[in-house]
Amino acid sequence: MVEVRPLTPSIGAEIIGADIRQEADFEIVRQAFTDHSVIAIRDQELTPDDQIEFAERFGPINVNRFFKKHDTHPKVALVLKEADQSKAIGEQWHTDHSYDDEPAMCSILHAIETPPVGGDTVFASMSAAYEALSDKFAEMIDGLNAWHSSRHVFGAAAADSENSKTGRIENPALAKQDALHPVVITHPLSGRKGIYVNPEFTTRIDGWTEAESASVLRFLYEHCAKPDFHCRVSYRPGTVTMWDNRATWHKAINDYAGHRRLMHRITVEGCSLNR
């Protein structure tokens, strides 16, 4: 019997008793993903081929240009931190692939090796954050667009980072994406409005001065970082966490010094975003 347990009223659910290799469990998993934006499916026994097959039920796989790839399954990206490394991948709040014209729909993270404690991911609901704004402020940002870029995160400027030097992030020459998206989008599945800017990849609000843009983005980032809009997923090997990049932010908590953490990640193609 498959059980879906919400983690908070606004975001996240844990799924117990499912086997995502089984067709029979797919519909309940898909519905939970639509309803909760983040799902942590416990106790899966998956090969990389199983994870690829599950991801492809949602759409074509978007092979990440920058993450180190699995040796035999290049559609699977490695999210790795060795015991002697200090930086984790994805420590800052972000939305995967917001620098693409058609940002990834979802990311699917399969926990392979986890620290004894720590190494959680925190998620934020962008629709809950939007709905908590005053009507007048929401009206003001509703008409805006913002630029997003991969250049400052994955390009030459990042060559000195530990993630690049250890080969966990690669291909700086491919970091050429700049994309313009509405600051507030209507979610393609749920129809809910949500904030679509993030501290990692958003560079500025289109048509505003640097100071105007920085000031409003800072306010939005502080607002979305309130724990009221968050859920937190902890892992054990076999947990598969899937999140909707059009509805959430996430950040990896780097609190497990001295331990190895290895995740297999797949991102699924999305669509262009509209207000």
The residues that are catalytic are 94, 96, 250, 265
- We find the least distance from the C-beta atom of residue 74 to ligand SIN, in angstroms, to be 17
User: Is residue 195 a contact point for ligand SIN (CB under 6 A)?
Assistant: no
Q: Is 79 in the site for ligand SIN (CB under 6 A)?
A: yes
Pick between residue 21 and residue 87 the one whose CB is nearest to ligand SIN: 87
Which string of x and - marks every residue 202-221 that binds ligand SIN (by CB under 6 A)?
--------------------
Cβ distance to ligand SIN smaller for residue 121 or 163? 121
When asked if residue 263 is in the footprint of ligand SIN (CB under 6 A), the reply is yes
| Shortest Å distance, C-beta 75 to ligand SIN | 15
| Cα distance between residue 9 and residue 63, in whole Å | 33
129 binds ligand SIN (CB under 6 A): no
Strands 261-268 and 61-62, by their bridges, are antiparallel
Q: How far is the CB of 141 from ligand SIN (least distance, A)?
A: 25
Shortest distance, CB of residue 31 to ligand SIN, whole angstroms?
A: 23
Among the listed residues 93, 86, 83, the one whose alpha carbon sits nearest the alpha carbon of residue 114 = 83
Q: What is the DSSP string of 139-175?
A: HHHHT-EEEEESHHHHSGGGTTSHHHHTTSB--GGG-
Contact 259/115 with Cβ under 8 angstroms?
yes
C-alpha to C-alpha distance for 179 and 204, rounded to whole angstroms: 11
Q: Is the CB of 240 or the CB of 252 nearer to ligand SIN?
A: 252
Judged by CB under 6 A, does residue 108 bind ligand SIN?
Answer: no
Residue from 62, 95, 107, 245 binding ligand SIN (CB under 6 A): 107
Q: Does 121 bind ligand SIN (CB under 6 A)?
A: yes
Nearer to ligand SIN, 105 or 216 (CB): 105
Instruction: Specify whether the CB–CB gap between 207 and 87 falls below 8 A.
Output: no
Does 197 bind ligand SIN (CB under 6 A)? Our answer is no
Size of the site for ligand SIN (CB under 6 A): 10
Q: Among residues 187, 88, 212, which one has the least CA distance to residue 220?
A: 212
Residue 52 near residue 240 (C-beta atoms within 8 A): no
Q: Which of 195, 231, 252, 273 binds ligand SIN (CB under 6 A)?
A: 252
12, 48, 90, 270: which one contacts ligand SIN (CB under 6 A)? 90
Q: Which residue number places its CB atom closest to ligand SIN? A: 90
CB closer to ligand SIN out of 187 and 261 = 261
Which H helix or E strand runs over 221? Answer: helix 210-224
CB burial of 162-186 (b: ≥16 within 10 Å; e: otherwise) equals ebbeeebbeebeebebebebbbbbe
Site residues (CB under 6 A) for ligand SIN? 79, 89-90, 96, 107, 121, 250, 252, 263, 265
